[in-house]
Structure 1
Amino acid sequence: MKEILTSIIFLLASVLLFAQKDSSGNLNGMFKKASSLFGKKSGSKSSSNLSSNEIVSGLKEALSLGAKKSGDKLSATDGFFKDAAVKILLPQQIRDVENKIRMLGFGKLVDNAELSMNRAAEDASKAAAPIFLDAIKKMTVTDALNILRGSDTAATGYLRKTTSPALTTAFRPVIEESLKKTDANKYWKDVFSTYNRFTSKPVDADINSYVTGKALDGLFYYVAQEEVNIRKDPAARVTDILKNVFGSK
């Protein structure tokens, strides 16, 4: 009982001490200071106590998990097409007059073009995993520390920077082939030909580049979602190394 009383007195004294030093008089700031001393469990690791290998391993695991989930989700049938967050729509200049095109009886062309583009992206997403994993393996200690101290999507930014050229190279032929299989090139040409009849500024977009870029945007969107989830939600840290690295920030 004496030990418990002593601990309580010590805690109260510490809080009062911080209150006196807090010139702003902000109670929230006072309790934040106190919790910085008493809020951590004695057995938990701080980021400064983690080894470089632990930090690198944790970040590699987080990126691998996010990349795999992203690829699996989007490579499934309707992974793009029925997901409003990543669905590939026609270019903006077409969407601006889409209603007019539909009113003229060409709605089916628009629908077919959109479906074929999304199917191509779903097909190409199957090639993402090995490219992601190769980049993740090359992560350095410096990369890992910058990511750990960075924004909620710093790891995704690293992955995008290091994999975009390889992903574009890998995706483009797959998308080209998939667009051929789904007659997307035909639909695309039909839509643009229809659009060009009613504009003084005709367009000639590259469907392959357009769909490749949108497919990559969708992949990284979900990698980022998973990273934010791991950083903010303890329940998403499904392994010990993830708990140690992201629970120590």
Structure 2
Amino acid sequence: MSSRRLRLLVCGFGLAGMVGCADGGQSMKGALDGLGSAIGSVIPGTAGASQSEIAAALRQALNQGTTAAIGQLGRTDGFWSDPRVRVPLPGFISKYESTVRAIGYGSTLDQFQLTLNRAAEKAVPQVTSIFANSISQMTLADAKQILQGPDNAATEFFRRTSTNELYARILPIVSEATAQVGVTQQYKKVASKAGPILRLSGSTPPTDLDDYVAQQALNGLFTKIADEEARIRKDPAARSTELLKKVFAKQ
């Protein structure tokens, strides 16, 4: 396996780590030490770097990725200012959006949508420790699949291994955030009363708001990860750090 492919692996991990290693602690360190050791022992082209250097490079890449993603999404307007990840109005409401705006409730809709995005922005920083589990479970077969896969292979690995835990962490934070604002409180009240009636009549019930926002937050998070992974794979300058240069200068 070429040193270029190994560099892509490290950078793929760094990209995927956008969503988590700020507080992974010893579990993250142990997982990465083990992975670094395995890489150093079985993948040709890494023998020139020590196992500790390889592991340290992986840790640095993960830290860089975490800082980038949380910095982009876990701040005020992180979701709201980016049309690609902005949480849209739920389908039940968007279906009647033009009518609602026409009768003078456009500002209410805007406030409602902003609240959904604020909830997503509040939740994202709370998931930074979860990816330690995915790293600890990563096998060399997974690593090779990421190396040989498409531009979003690392992203899809973490989506596959971490989505359920991420969702479980995000949902209660979203629920708390939406419960504190009048417009979303009112939506929840209406949805809880109208939902059973609409189901009986065969109509689409109102969206479960907290589930909807949690899912949208995850979608936005993985969208950002995939964007960065593709950029890192294609642009050598995007994956340059002093430690990575030191490690891979030996290849």
- Structures share fold, TM-score greater than 0.5: yes
Q: Which amino acid aligns with 1:92?
A: G
**Per the alignment, do residues 46 and 88 of structure 1 end up closer, same or farther by CA in structure 2, a change over 3 Å counting?**
closer
Query: 1:245 deviation in Å?
Result: 10
**Partner residue in 1 for 2:171:** 172
Shift of 1:61: 5.6
1:49 maps to 2:44: yes
Consecutive unaligned residues in structure 1, runs of 5 or more = 1-43
Contact kept, 8 Å, 2:79 with 2:87, in 1: the verdict is yes
- Structure 2 SS opposite 1:230: helix
The structural deviation recorded for 1:68 is: 3.5
5+ residue gaps, structure 2, are 6-42, 196-201
**Distance in 1 between residues matched to 2:56 and 2:148, nearest whole Å:** 15
The aligned residue for residue 152 of structure 1 is 151
- Residues 1:117 and 2:116 aligned together: yes
Aligned to 2:215: 213
Q: What is the aligned partner in structure 1 of residue 101 from structure 2?
A: 102
Tell me, yes or no, if the aligned pair for 1:89 and 1:114 is still in contact at 8 Å: yes
Whole-Å separation in 2 of the counterparts to 1:149 and 1:57 = 23
User: Where does 1:162-201 land on structure 2 (aligned, <5 Å)?
Assistant: 162-189=161-188, 201=203
Aligned pair in 2 of structure 1 residues 61, 183: CA closer, same or farther (>3 Å)?
A: farther
Residue type at the aligned position of 2:144: L
TM-score of the superposed pair, with normalisation by structure 1:
0.68
Is the contact made by 2:92 and 2:207 (CA closer than 8 Å) also made in structure 1?
no
Kindly report which structure 2 residues correspond to 1:31-70, keeping only aligned pairs within 5 A, or say none. 45=3, 47=5, 49-51=44-46, 62=61, 65-70=64-69
Displacement over 6 Å in runs of 4+ = 52-60, 190-193, 243-247
Q: Is the 8 A contact 2:178 2:185 kept in 1?
A: no
TM-score (norm. length: structure 2): 0.67
Give the letter aligned to residue 44 of structure 2: N
Q: Deviations over 1:57-110 (max 9, x none)?
A: 867765553343212211101101111111101123422321111111221221
Matching residue's letter, 1:160: R
2:240 matched residue in structure 1 = 238
Q: Does the 8 Å CA contact 1:80/1:122 hold for their aligned counterparts? A: yes
Please report how far the alpha carbon of residue 190 of structure 1 lies from its aligned counterpart in structure 2 after TM superposition. 8.0
Instruction: Give 1:143 shift.
Output: 1.1
Number of matched pairs:
200
- Over the residues paired in the alignment, what is the CA RMSD in angstroms? 3.3
Counterparts of 1:101 and 1:62, CA distance in 2:
47
Identify which range, 230-239 or 92-101, moves more after superposition: 92-101
CA contact (8 A) 1:66 1:222 kept: no
| 3-state SS in 2 of match to 1:130 | coil
Following TM superposition, by how much is the alpha carbon of 1:168 offset from its aligned partner in structure 2, in angstroms? 0.6
Deviates more, 1:106-115 or 1:133-142: 133-142
Work out the CA distance in 2 between the residues paired with 1:147 and 1:244: 23
Q: Deviations over 1:40-60 (max 9, x none)?
A: xxxx84546334979888677
